[in-house]
Amino acid sequence: MANAEELKRETIKRIVPYSPGKSSAEVMAELGIEKVTKLASNENPLGPSPLAVEAIREMAPQSHIYPDPQCTELTEELAARLEVEPETIVVGRGSDEILHYLGLAFVDPGDNLVFSDPPFAIYLYTARLMAAEEVMVPSRDFRHDLEAMAEAANERTKLIFISNPYNPLGTIVTADEVAAFMDAVPETCIVVFDEAYFEYVDDPSYPDTLALVRDNARCAVLRTFSKAYALAGLRIGYGIAPPDIAGALKQVREPFNVASTAQVAALASLRDPEQVPRSVANNRAGKQYLYKQFDEMGLQYIPTQANFIFVEVGIDSAECFDQLMRRGVTVRTGEIFGYPKWIRVTIGTPEENETFISALREVLS
Ligand SMILES: Cc1ncc(COP(=O)(O)O)c(C=O)c1O
Protein backbone atom coordinates (compact mmCIF):
# COMPACT_ATOMS: atom_id res chain seq x y z
CA MET A 1 0.00 0.00 0.00
CA ALA A 2 1.35 3.40 -0.94
CA ASN A 3 1.96 5.65 2.01
CA ALA A 4 1.04 9.32 2.11
CA GLU A 5 4.62 10.34 1.41
CA GLU A 6 4.33 8.78 -2.06
CA LEU A 7 0.81 10.07 -2.70
CA LYS A 8 1.44 13.66 -1.68
CA ARG A 9 1.61 16.44 -4.25
CA GLU A 10 5.27 17.03 -4.99
CA THR A 11 5.11 20.66 -3.90
CA ILE A 12 3.70 19.81 -0.47
CA LYS A 13 6.97 18.09 0.37
CA ARG A 14 8.56 21.54 0.42
CA ILE A 15 6.19 22.85 3.10
CA VAL A 16 7.60 22.89 6.60
CA PRO A 17 4.64 22.90 9.04
CA TYR A 18 4.37 26.19 10.91
CA SER A 19 6.08 26.01 14.27
CA PRO A 20 4.50 28.34 16.81
CA GLY A 21 7.07 27.54 19.49
CA LYS A 22 6.06 26.38 22.94
CA SER A 23 2.68 27.48 24.22
CA SER A 24 2.45 29.31 27.53
CA ALA A 25 0.71 26.24 29.00
CA GLU A 26 3.61 23.99 27.94
CA VAL A 27 6.20 26.38 29.38
CA MET A 28 4.28 26.64 32.67
CA ALA A 29 3.96 22.86 32.97
CA GLU A 30 7.62 22.27 32.09
CA LEU A 31 8.99 24.85 34.50
CA GLY A 32 6.34 24.54 37.18
CA ILE A 33 5.63 28.27 37.07
CA GLU A 34 2.27 30.00 37.20
CA LYS A 35 2.70 32.79 34.74
CA VAL A 36 4.40 33.23 31.40
CA THR A 37 5.13 36.60 29.86
CA LYS A 38 4.45 35.83 26.20
CA LEU A 39 6.18 38.31 23.94
CA ALA A 40 6.59 35.88 21.04
CA SER A 41 3.69 36.39 18.63
CA ASN A 42 3.05 40.11 18.33
CA GLU A 43 -0.27 39.87 20.11
CA ASN A 44 -1.94 42.85 21.73
CA PRO A 45 -1.20 42.69 25.48
CA LEU A 46 -4.22 44.83 26.42
CA GLY A 47 -6.77 42.36 25.09
CA PRO A 48 -9.96 43.03 23.16
CA SER A 49 -12.39 45.90 23.52
CA PRO A 50 -15.02 45.29 26.24
CA LEU A 51 -17.59 46.03 23.53
CA ALA A 52 -16.21 43.12 21.50
CA VAL A 53 -16.40 40.80 24.51
CA GLU A 54 -20.02 41.81 25.06
CA ALA A 55 -20.85 41.26 21.37
CA ILE A 56 -19.33 37.75 21.51
CA ARG A 57 -21.38 36.98 24.60
CA GLU A 58 -24.56 38.11 22.89
CA MET A 59 -23.81 36.10 19.75
CA ALA A 60 -22.76 32.92 21.56
CA PRO A 61 -26.30 31.45 21.91
CA GLN A 62 -26.67 31.76 18.10
CA SER A 63 -23.70 29.49 17.50
CA HIS A 64 -25.86 26.79 15.94
CA ILE A 65 -26.60 29.08 12.97
CA TYR A 66 -24.10 29.42 10.08
CA PRO A 67 -22.54 32.86 9.85
CA ASP A 68 -23.36 35.50 7.25
CA PRO A 69 -21.19 34.31 4.31
CA GLN A 70 -20.79 37.84 2.99
CA CYS A 71 -19.99 39.48 6.35
CA THR A 72 -22.42 42.13 5.15
CA GLU A 73 -22.59 44.47 8.13
CA LEU A 74 -18.87 44.42 8.78
CA THR A 75 -18.08 44.93 5.09
CA GLU A 76 -20.38 47.93 4.90
CA GLU A 77 -18.94 49.46 8.05
CA LEU A 78 -15.37 48.96 6.81
CA ALA A 79 -16.21 50.38 3.39
CA ALA A 80 -17.71 53.52 4.94
CA ARG A 81 -14.75 54.02 7.27
CA LEU A 82 -12.11 53.36 4.64
CA GLU A 83 -13.95 55.28 1.91
CA VAL A 84 -13.94 52.41 -0.54
CA GLU A 85 -16.74 50.49 -2.26
CA PRO A 86 -18.05 47.44 -0.35
CA GLU A 87 -17.31 45.26 -3.39
CA THR A 88 -13.58 45.91 -2.87
CA ILE A 89 -13.56 44.19 0.54
CA VAL A 90 -13.07 40.50 1.23
CA VAL A 91 -13.19 39.30 4.86
CA GLY A 92 -11.24 36.21 5.89
CA ARG A 93 -10.19 34.07 8.82
CA GLY A 94 -7.29 36.39 9.51
CA SER A 95 -5.36 38.12 6.78
CA ASP A 96 -3.53 34.80 6.46
CA GLU A 97 -6.59 33.42 4.76
CA ILE A 98 -6.63 36.28 2.25
CA LEU A 99 -2.99 35.49 1.44
CA HIS A 100 -4.06 31.91 0.86
CA TYR A 101 -6.92 33.06 -1.40
CA LEU A 102 -4.54 35.24 -3.42
CA GLY A 103 -2.52 32.10 -4.10
CA LEU A 104 -5.59 30.00 -4.96
CA ALA A 105 -7.07 32.65 -7.22
CA PHE A 106 -4.02 33.80 -9.16
CA VAL A 107 -1.07 31.42 -8.99
CA ASP A 108 -0.51 28.57 -11.47
CA PRO A 109 2.22 25.95 -11.02
CA GLY A 110 5.49 27.37 -12.31
CA ASP A 111 4.55 31.00 -11.65
CA ASN A 112 6.66 32.86 -9.16
CA LEU A 113 6.05 34.99 -6.07
CA VAL A 114 8.48 37.72 -5.09
CA PHE A 115 9.08 38.76 -1.49
CA SER A 116 11.80 39.94 0.82
CA ASP A 117 14.15 37.71 2.80
CA PRO A 118 13.59 37.19 5.73
CA PRO A 119 10.00 36.41 4.76
CA PHE A 120 6.79 36.26 6.74
CA ALA A 121 6.18 32.49 6.94
CA ILE A 122 2.84 32.52 5.13
CA TYR A 123 4.39 33.98 1.93
CA LEU A 124 6.67 30.98 1.65
CA TYR A 125 3.80 28.66 2.49
CA THR A 126 1.58 30.22 -0.20
CA ALA A 127 4.28 29.86 -2.87
CA ARG A 128 4.90 26.23 -1.98
CA LEU A 129 1.23 25.34 -1.63
CA MET A 130 0.59 26.61 -5.16
CA ALA A 131 3.67 24.87 -6.67
CA ALA A 132 5.10 28.26 -7.48
CA GLU A 133 8.70 29.36 -7.27
CA GLU A 134 9.62 31.61 -4.35
CA VAL A 135 11.89 34.45 -5.37
CA MET A 136 13.32 35.85 -2.16
CA VAL A 137 15.17 39.14 -2.44
CA PRO A 138 17.57 39.89 0.42
CA SER A 139 16.52 42.85 2.55
CA ARG A 140 18.94 45.79 2.64
CA ASP A 141 19.69 47.77 5.79
CA PHE A 142 16.86 45.81 7.47
CA ARG A 143 14.36 47.12 4.88
CA HIS A 144 12.68 45.79 1.76
CA ASP A 145 14.96 46.41 -1.21
CA LEU A 146 12.17 47.51 -3.54
CA GLU A 147 14.51 48.26 -6.44
CA ALA A 148 15.91 44.75 -6.36
CA MET A 149 12.41 43.31 -5.91
CA ALA A 150 11.17 45.18 -9.01
CA GLU A 151 14.15 43.85 -10.95
CA ALA A 152 13.47 40.31 -9.74
CA ALA A 153 9.86 40.39 -10.97
CA ASN A 154 9.26 38.99 -14.46
CA GLU A 155 6.43 37.82 -16.71
CA ARG A 156 5.91 34.71 -14.52
CA THR A 157 5.52 36.79 -11.34
CA LYS A 158 1.92 36.70 -10.12
CA LEU A 159 2.20 38.17 -6.63
CA ILE A 160 4.67 40.44 -4.87
CA PHE A 161 4.28 40.53 -1.10
CA ILE A 162 5.37 43.60 0.84
CA SER A 163 5.03 43.35 4.59
CA ASN A 164 4.67 46.97 5.64
CA PRO A 165 5.63 47.31 8.49
CA TYR A 166 8.06 44.48 7.87
CA ASN A 167 7.67 41.48 10.16
CA PRO A 168 10.18 40.61 11.71
CA LEU A 169 12.31 43.74 11.25
CA GLY A 170 9.81 46.51 12.02
CA THR A 171 10.77 48.89 9.19
CA ILE A 172 8.51 50.42 6.52
CA VAL A 173 8.66 51.30 2.85
CA THR A 174 7.64 54.89 2.10
CA ALA A 175 5.03 56.47 -0.16
CA ASP A 176 7.69 57.68 -2.61
CA GLU A 177 9.32 54.27 -2.77
CA VAL A 178 5.96 52.60 -3.38
CA ALA A 179 5.08 55.07 -6.15
CA ALA A 180 8.36 54.31 -7.95
CA PHE A 181 7.89 50.59 -7.37
CA MET A 182 4.40 50.53 -8.86
CA ASP A 183 5.81 52.16 -12.01
CA ALA A 184 8.67 49.67 -12.20
CA VAL A 185 6.92 46.29 -11.76
CA PRO A 186 5.43 44.31 -14.66
CA GLU A 187 1.73 45.05 -15.23
CA THR A 188 0.96 41.35 -15.07
CA CYS A 189 1.57 40.98 -11.35
CA ILE A 190 -0.40 41.99 -8.27
CA VAL A 191 1.41 43.90 -5.53
CA VAL A 192 0.16 42.86 -2.10
CA PHE A 193 0.64 45.35 0.73
CA ASP A 194 0.40 43.38 3.94
CA GLU A 195 -0.45 46.04 6.52
CA ALA A 196 -1.11 43.88 9.59
CA TYR A 197 0.57 46.46 11.84
CA PHE A 198 -0.37 49.70 10.10
CA GLU A 199 -2.24 51.18 13.08
CA TYR A 200 1.06 51.37 15.01
CA VAL A 201 2.94 53.33 12.33
CA ASP A 202 3.90 56.86 13.28
CA ASP A 203 6.18 57.68 10.33
CA PRO A 204 4.35 60.22 8.13
CA SER A 205 6.03 58.88 4.98
CA TYR A 206 3.93 55.68 5.22
CA PRO A 207 2.05 55.12 1.94
CA ASP A 208 -1.70 55.53 1.43
CA THR A 209 -2.26 52.26 -0.40
CA LEU A 210 -6.04 52.56 -0.31
CA ALA A 211 -5.61 55.38 -2.83
CA LEU A 212 -4.05 52.78 -5.14
CA VAL A 213 -7.10 50.54 -4.67
CA ARG A 214 -9.42 53.46 -5.46
CA ASP A 215 -7.37 54.05 -8.63
CA ASN A 216 -7.79 50.40 -9.63
CA ALA A 217 -4.05 49.75 -9.49
CA ARG A 218 -2.99 46.10 -9.70
CA CYS A 219 -2.74 45.65 -5.94
CA ALA A 220 -4.34 44.32 -2.79
CA VAL A 221 -4.10 45.71 0.74
CA LEU A 222 -4.36 43.34 3.71
CA ARG A 223 -5.41 44.36 7.19
CA THR A 224 -6.26 42.43 10.32
CA PHE A 225 -8.19 42.51 13.57
CA SER A 226 -5.45 40.42 15.22
CA LYS A 227 -3.12 43.22 16.28
CA ALA A 228 -4.40 46.68 17.31
CA TYR A 229 -7.92 45.22 17.69
CA ALA A 230 -6.63 42.30 19.78
CA LEU A 231 -8.83 39.60 18.23
CA ALA A 232 -6.09 37.17 17.12
CA GLY A 233 -7.86 34.24 18.78
CA LEU A 234 -11.02 34.78 16.73
CA ARG A 235 -9.20 34.83 13.36
CA ILE A 236 -10.51 37.75 11.35
CA GLY A 237 -8.86 40.03 8.83
CA TYR A 238 -9.63 41.41 5.38
CA GLY A 239 -8.32 42.41 2.00
CA ILE A 240 -9.17 45.53 0.01
CA ALA A 241 -8.58 45.34 -3.72
CA PRO A 242 -10.00 46.65 -6.98
CA PRO A 243 -13.31 44.88 -7.78
CA ASP A 244 -11.88 42.45 -10.34
CA ILE A 245 -9.22 41.22 -7.91
CA ALA A 246 -11.61 41.16 -4.94
CA GLY A 247 -14.12 39.28 -7.12
CA ALA A 248 -11.56 36.56 -7.87
CA LEU A 249 -10.85 36.18 -4.14
CA LYS A 250 -14.58 35.79 -3.47
CA GLN A 251 -14.73 33.02 -6.08
CA VAL A 252 -12.29 30.89 -4.09
CA ARG A 253 -13.54 31.86 -0.63
CA GLU A 254 -15.09 29.13 1.50
CA PRO A 255 -18.83 29.76 1.94
CA PHE A 256 -18.90 30.35 5.71
CA ASN A 257 -15.30 31.22 6.37
CA VAL A 258 -15.69 33.79 9.15
CA ALA A 259 -17.41 32.84 12.44
CA SER A 260 -20.38 34.92 13.60
CA THR A 261 -18.64 35.74 16.87
CA ALA A 262 -15.64 37.03 14.94
CA GLN A 263 -17.86 39.19 12.71
CA VAL A 264 -19.71 40.85 15.59
CA ALA A 265 -16.56 41.27 17.67
CA ALA A 266 -14.80 42.98 14.78
CA LEU A 267 -17.74 45.28 14.21
CA ALA A 268 -17.98 46.19 17.90
CA SER A 269 -14.20 46.84 18.03
CA LEU A 270 -14.42 49.21 15.10
CA ARG A 271 -17.14 51.09 16.93
CA ASP A 272 -15.09 51.40 20.11
CA PRO A 273 -13.32 54.73 19.67
CA GLU A 274 -10.83 53.86 22.43
CA GLN A 275 -9.57 50.49 21.23
CA VAL A 276 -6.92 51.59 18.74
CA PRO A 277 -5.72 54.75 20.55
CA ARG A 278 -5.36 52.76 23.77
CA SER A 279 -3.31 50.05 22.02
CA VAL A 280 -1.18 52.54 20.13
CA ALA A 281 -0.47 54.61 23.26
CA ASN A 282 0.62 51.52 25.20
CA ASN A 283 2.82 50.48 22.29
CA ARG A 284 4.41 53.90 21.96
CA ALA A 285 5.24 54.12 25.68
CA GLY A 286 6.55 50.53 25.71
CA LYS A 287 8.72 51.21 22.69
CA GLN A 288 10.35 54.23 24.35
CA TYR A 289 10.96 52.27 27.54
CA LEU A 290 12.54 49.35 25.67
CA TYR A 291 14.69 51.63 23.49
CA LYS A 292 16.02 53.32 26.63
CA GLN A 293 16.81 49.98 28.26
CA PHE A 294 18.50 48.64 25.13
CA ASP A 295 20.55 51.86 24.87
CA GLU A 296 21.65 51.47 28.48
CA MET A 297 22.60 47.86 27.84
CA GLY A 298 24.48 48.82 24.68
CA LEU A 299 22.29 46.63 22.45
CA GLN A 300 21.67 47.47 18.81
CA TYR A 301 18.00 47.43 17.74
CA ILE A 302 15.98 48.38 14.68
CA PRO A 303 13.68 51.34 15.40
CA THR A 304 10.23 49.89 14.86
CA GLN A 305 6.99 51.02 13.27
CA ALA A 306 5.13 47.99 14.62
CA ASN A 307 4.38 46.32 17.97
CA PHE A 308 7.64 44.37 18.14
CA ILE A 309 11.36 45.17 18.19
CA PHE A 310 14.22 43.31 16.55
CA VAL A 311 17.21 43.53 18.84
CA GLU A 312 20.73 42.17 18.71
CA VAL A 313 21.48 40.31 21.93
CA GLY A 314 25.01 39.38 20.89
CA ILE A 315 24.70 35.76 22.03
CA ASP A 316 23.21 32.74 20.29
CA SER A 317 19.52 33.55 19.93
CA ALA A 318 18.36 30.00 20.65
CA GLU A 319 20.36 30.08 23.89
CA CYS A 320 18.96 33.50 24.73
CA PHE A 321 15.45 32.20 24.05
CA ASP A 322 16.04 29.23 26.29
CA GLN A 323 17.43 31.30 29.13
CA LEU A 324 14.56 33.79 28.89
CA MET A 325 12.05 30.96 28.84
CA ARG A 326 13.52 29.55 32.03
CA ARG A 327 12.75 32.94 33.55
CA GLY A 328 9.17 32.76 32.30
CA VAL A 329 9.50 35.01 29.23
CA THR A 330 9.02 33.86 25.64
CA VAL A 331 10.24 35.75 22.55
CA ARG A 332 11.06 34.79 18.94
CA THR A 333 14.59 33.73 18.05
CA GLY A 334 16.28 35.63 15.22
CA GLU A 335 17.89 32.42 14.06
CA ILE A 336 14.71 31.38 12.21
CA PHE A 337 14.94 34.62 10.25
CA GLY A 338 18.66 34.22 9.47
CA TYR A 339 19.88 36.44 12.34
CA PRO A 340 21.42 34.05 14.87
CA LYS A 341 22.30 36.75 17.42
CA TRP A 342 19.04 38.67 17.36
CA ILE A 343 15.63 38.19 18.93
CA ARG A 344 12.23 39.65 18.12
CA VAL A 345 10.29 40.79 21.15
CA THR A 346 6.69 41.94 21.19
CA ILE A 347 6.03 45.19 23.06
CA GLY A 348 3.94 44.27 26.11
CA THR A 349 2.30 46.08 28.99
CA PRO A 350 4.64 48.17 31.19
CA GLU A 351 4.83 45.28 33.65
CA GLU A 352 5.58 42.71 30.93
CA ASN A 353 8.27 44.94 29.44
CA GLU A 354 9.93 45.28 32.85
CA THR A 355 9.78 41.53 33.43
CA PHE A 356 11.39 40.97 30.04
CA ILE A 357 14.15 43.53 30.64
CA SER A 358 15.06 42.21 34.06
CA ALA A 359 15.19 38.65 32.63
CA LEU A 360 17.28 39.82 29.67
CA ARG A 361 19.70 41.67 31.96
CA GLU A 362 20.19 38.50 33.94
CA VAL A 363 20.71 36.39 30.82
CA LEU A 364 23.27 38.79 29.35
CA SER A 365 25.11 39.53 32.59
C1 LIG B 1 3.21 40.44 8.34
C2 LIG B 1 2.00 39.71 8.81
N3 LIG B 1 1.02 39.50 7.95
C4 LIG B 1 -0.10 38.84 8.30
C5 LIG B 1 -0.24 38.35 9.57
C6 LIG B 1 -1.44 37.50 9.84
O7 LIG B 1 -2.33 38.04 10.65
P8 LIG B 1 -3.74 37.35 10.87
O9 LIG B 1 -3.81 37.04 12.30
O10 LIG B 1 -4.71 38.40 10.42
O11 LIG B 1 -3.85 36.13 9.99
C12 LIG B 1 0.75 38.54 10.52
C13 LIG B 1 0.62 37.97 11.87
O14 LIG B 1 1.49 37.92 12.66
C15 LIG B 1 1.91 39.23 10.12
O16 LIG B 1 2.93 39.41 10.97
CA distances (Å), 71 to each of 178, 260, 267, 283, in order? 31, 9, 10, 30
Q: Whose CA is nearest to atom 8 of ligand 1?
A: 94
Q: Whose CA is nearest to atom 7 of ligand 1?
A: 95
Residue 215's contacts (CB-CB under 8 Å, 6 or more residues apart) are none
pLDDT band at 29 (very low <50, low <70, confident <90, very high): confident
What mean pLDDT value characterizes the chain?
A: 96
Is any ligand 1 atom within 6 A of the Cβ of residue 232? yes
Is any ligand 1 atom within 6 A of the Cβ of residue 226? yes
DSSP code per residue over 94-116: SHHHHHHHHHHHH--TT-EEEEE
| 343-359 per-position pLDDT tens digit | 999 999 999 999 999 99
Domains of the chain in sequence order: 18-47+275-364 (3.90.1150.10), 50-270 (3.40.640.10)
Using a CB cutoff of 8 Å and minimum separation of 24, what contacts does 199-204 make? 199/227, 199/228, 199/276, 199/279, 199/280, 200/165, 200/227, 200/228, 200/279, 200/280, 200/283, 200/305, 200/306, 200/307, 201/165, 201/172, 201/305, 201/306, 202/284, 202/305, 203/172, 203/174, 203/305
Q: For residue 42, which of 290, 239, 340, 331 has the smallest C-alpha distance?
A: 331
Cis previous bond, 165, omega within 30: yes
Output the CA 249–ligand 1 centroid distance in Å: 18
Is any ligand 1 atom within 6 A of the Cβ of residue 44? no
Is any ligand 1 atom within 6 A of the Cβ of residue 163? yes
pLDDT band at 18 (very low <50, low <70, confident <90, very high): confident
Q: What percentage of the chain carries pLDDT values higher than 70? A: 100
| 112-159 per-position pLDDT tens digit | 999 999 999 999 999 999 999 999 999 999 999 999 999 999 999 999
Interhelix angle 350-364/275-297, rounded to 10 degrees, is 20
pLDDT band at 28 (very low <50, low <70, confident <90, very high): confident
Output the CA 42–ligand 1 centroid distance in Å: 9
Q: Whose CA is nearest to atom 2 of ligand 1?
A: 196
Atom of ligand 1 at shortest distance to CA of 194?
A: 3
Q: Whose CA is nearest to atom 13 of ligand 1?
A: 196
Task: Flag whether pLDDT at 19 surpasses 80.
Answer: no
Is any ligand 1 atom within 6 A of the Cβ of residue 238? no
- CA dihedral 177→310→37→16, nearest 10 degrees, is 80
